[in-house]
Amino acid sequence: MAIKPQIRNPGNLGQLGCEVGQGYAIAHPMLAAELPDWIASWRPASRWCGMQPVA
Q: Are 7 and 25 in contact (CB under 8 A)?
A: yes
Number of structural domains (the chain) is: 1
pTM over 0.85: no
Instruction: Kindly state whether residue 53 falls inside one of the protein's structural domains.
Output: no
Q: pLDDT > 90: what percent of the chain?
A: 20
The whole-number pLDDT of residue 38 equals 94
Q: Judge whether 24 lies within some domain.
A: yes
7-22: per-residue pLDDT in tens?
666 666 666 667 677 7
Task: Identify whether 54 is part of a domain.
Answer: no
Domain that holds residue 7: 2-48
As a whole number, mean pLDDT of residues 25-50 equals 86
